[in-house]
Structure 1
Amino acid sequence: MTDKSGSNSTNQSTVAAFAILEEMARRGEPSRVTDLANDLGMPRARIYRYLQTLVSLGYVRQDPVTERYRLTLKLFHLGQAIADATQLTSVARPVMAALRDRVGQTVTLSLPEDIGMRVMDIVRIETPVQIVTRPGALLSFFTSAQGKLALAWGKAETRTLAQKGPNPARLAEEIIRARTLGWAIAPEEALPGVNAISAPVFDIEGRFAATITIVGSVQDITPEPAEALVAAVTQAAREISADLGCMEYPI
């Protein structure tokens, strides 16, 4: 590959960094700066700078003895996370559609991240007033039904965040309630006039993986939601968990 110049230095840097990663993956063995420079047609000094950046980001490691560079598993884990999310969405979509038709409410699928719950998919119900949440939206751990489940069932680091919320005592009660009942609500907490009932999804190893949620107006989903709505969303969560290989639903 030849090193091509262009007008956008940021884009050049991005292209060069990915070219180095791809070449290292192709080689499949620890590489010297000189080897990469020759293969990519780039100056050794430039290759070295990019490698140092990739080392600092955790994508590349330098052997202190041989001084050769190799890829770490960080890229693998990123790819695995994307694959897992894609699989989860594919598995959940038919269950979400069936849940929407059963309860007549919009249904969402959300995945946990370090700073909140990310909405990955939405199956909407056509109503005069539409829920404005979109795929990609990030929901707070403290003011969403999905977030409360993450605080109740998520990673240890996530659970400790409950003490940093706006009302730790009340939040602690809601987390206990969520773990006891297996679902959570958030009437008018994320959006005015909107309530949600959310249930946790678990993966093949019994780990908290996602939430499935029905979302609607507080007139349709009251602060004390109807038993039929709760039963529908918790059953959907169990179905998705089973499809992911969860042999024994934890709740």
Structure 2
Amino acid sequence: MIGDSDKKYRIEAVDGAIDMIFAISHQPGLGVTEIANATGMTKSRTFRLLKTLTNRGIVSPNETSGYRLGTSSLLIGACAMAQVDLINVATPALAALSAKANETTILRLREGRKCICVAKHEPARELRVHAVIGRRRSFLVGSGNIVPAFLSTQERENLVSDLSLPQVQKDQLLQKLVAIKIAGYSVSIGEVNSELVGIAAPVFSADGAVAAAISIAAPAHRTHASNIDAFIPLVVTTAHQVSQRLGWQGAQRSLSR
């Protein structure tokens, strides 16, 4: 449901197309007239949107009559299932990691050039980092660094080259990302804000691609070098265990600082 505060951001054509996709998913084989009736749109508008969705493979006309979901919908569904599986697998791991560290633990996924918090666990202590599900931020700062660091060399270089930064800063960022990949984890102190420390490690999918970042987020004033040293193997081990549950067969790397 769209709230009053969100109505000004509503794009009618997109909203209508989504209504059509849901209508077809619930009842495959609907024709243009039936889809128009189900969504409250005119037949001409319904036909135009169906053509657009067909061209993108989201829906497909049946050989006999009506429409069904297309192959692109299968891809979207598979990706959604993979992400849901990741959250289901990671949630108890985040709780266990939080219990060991007594700090907030977070799972972040890549979303374009940002990362999004999709799961968290906060300890039962008065002063803690408060993570917000759905919050987005650049994946080039803090624990978000994990995702670009573990992309292929070409993807990482292309990503950095497209940034509106002086070349010297691009070179420094590339060096930082390569160093994170070599280490197998990242430590950020004051990157997001001066009061936050983050320690993160990558989660890999079955095909070996980086799927997410698991991190411990702690207040800087109580997180000393000894704490960071203790947190690193906890995060790396947790991320490795989650990766294994997703089907990744890679071995956990030994750590050195």
TM tier, smaller = 0.7 to 0.9
Matched, 1:219 2:221: yes
Distance 1:223 1:169 in 2: 27
Distance 1:124 1:39 in 2: 45
Q: Give the alignment partner of residue 36 of structure 1, picking from 29, 32, 38.
A: 32
Q: What residue in structure 2 maps to residue 143 of structure 1?
A: 141
Deviation string for 1:105-146 (max 9, x for gaps)? 11001111212111111100233333233011112122122x
Distance 1:102 1:250 in 2: 19
Q: CA deviation at 1:52?
A: 2.9
Q: What residue in structure 1 maps to residue 240 of structure 2?
A: 238
Q: What residue in structure 2 maps to residue 152 of structure 1?
A: 149
Note if contact 1:142-1:162 (Cα within 8 Å) is conserved in structure 2. no
Deviation string for 1:120-179 (max 9, x for gaps)? 11100233333233011112122122x211111136546522232753222122111111
Q: Which runs of 5+ in 2 are unaligned?
A: 1-10
* TM-score of the two chains, using structure 2 as the length reference: 0.76
Q: Which runs of 5+ in 1 are unaligned?
A: 1-8
Q: What residue in structure 2 maps to residue 192 of structure 1?
A: 194
Matched, 1:115 2:119: no
Q: CA deviation at 1:56?
A: 5.8
Distance 1:73 1:168, change over 3 A: same
Note if contact 1:202-1:246 (Cα within 8 Å) is conserved in structure 2. yes
Note if contact 2:28-2:69 (Cα within 8 Å) is conserved in structure 1. no
Structure 1 residues 1-251: aligned runs within 5 Å: 10=12, 13=16, 17-18=20-21, 21-22=24-25, 26-27=28-29, 35-37=31-33, 41=37, 44-55=43-54, 58-60=57-59, 71-145=69-143, 147-154=144-151, 157=155, 160-163=158-161, 164=163, 166=165, 167-222=169-224, 226-249=228-251, 251=253
Deviation string for 1:159-203 (max 9, x for gaps)? 522232753222122111111110012211112310100000111
Larger Rg: 1
Distance 1:221 1:169 in 2: 30
Distance 1:250 1:233, change over 3 A: closer
Q: Which amino acid aligns with 1:148?
A: N
SS in 1 for 2:109: strand
SS in 2 for 1:22: helix
Distance 1:106 1:37, change over 3 A: same
Deviation string for 1:193-231 (max 9, x for gaps)? 101000001111111111110000123334786322111
Distance 2:138 2:34 in 1: 48
Deviation string for 1:42-94 (max 9, x for gaps)? 7642431221342465524689xxxx976432222222222112211111122
SS in 1 for 2:222: coil
Kindly tell me the number of residue pairs found equivalent between the two proteins.
234
Distance 1:59 1:223, change over 3 A: farther
Q: What residue in structure 1 maps to residue 5 of structure 2?
A: none
SS in 1 for 2:119: strand
